[in-house]
Amino acid sequence: DAKTTQPTSMDCAEGRAANLPCNHSTISGNEYVYWYRQIHSQGPQYIIHGLKNNETNEMASLIITEDRKSSTLILPHATLRDTAVYYCIVRAPMKTSYDKVIFGPGTSLSVIP
């Protein structure tokens, strides 16, 4: 699986959009970008994933650049409960990816009142 690079930490004002970047310059053409988050001492929570098109669900939006070398997770209206470590993970194609999730350092997001 390709390696990812994320900022160590970020702050975001409550109610504002949180934009979390991720670089994955060695991503292969058929690898997916996944985002998980972990609120302190809780189990990691799946947020969203995508291949090359932008994706949106009830939690967040995922914007993937055209060359797929980077992506941004957007939390449109951050709340205090969004304070967590966010992990950007690149994974092999679906049919072969019943594999462990490899968690990197992630970004520690602090939402500030």
Partner 1 sequence: AAGVIQSPRHLIKEKRETATLKCYPIPRHDTVYWYQQGPGQDPQFLISFYEKMQSDKGSIPDRFSAQQFSDYHSELNMSSLELGDSALYFCASVERYRRGTDTQYFGPGTRLTVL
Q: Which residues bind partner 1 (CB under 8 A)?
A: 34, 38, 41-46, 49, 87, 94, 97-106
**71, two tokens:** 């992506």
3-state secondary structure of 20: strand
Euclidean distance between CA atoms 63 and 21, whole angstroms: 9
Smallest gap, in angstroms, from Cβ of residue 113 to partner 1? 25
Toward partner 1, which CB reaches closer, 81 or 100? 100
Toward partner 1, which CB reaches closer, 40 or 113? 40
Smallest gap, in angstroms, from Cβ of residue 25 to partner 1? 21
Toward partner 1, which CB reaches closer, 51 or 74? 51
- The separation between CA 3 and the C-alpha centre of its own chain, rounded to angstroms, equals 13
CB neighbour list of residue 78: distance below 8 Å, 6 or more residues apart: 12, 13, 14, 15, 16, 17, 18, 109, 111
Smallest gap, in angstroms, from Cβ of residue 16 to partner 1? 27
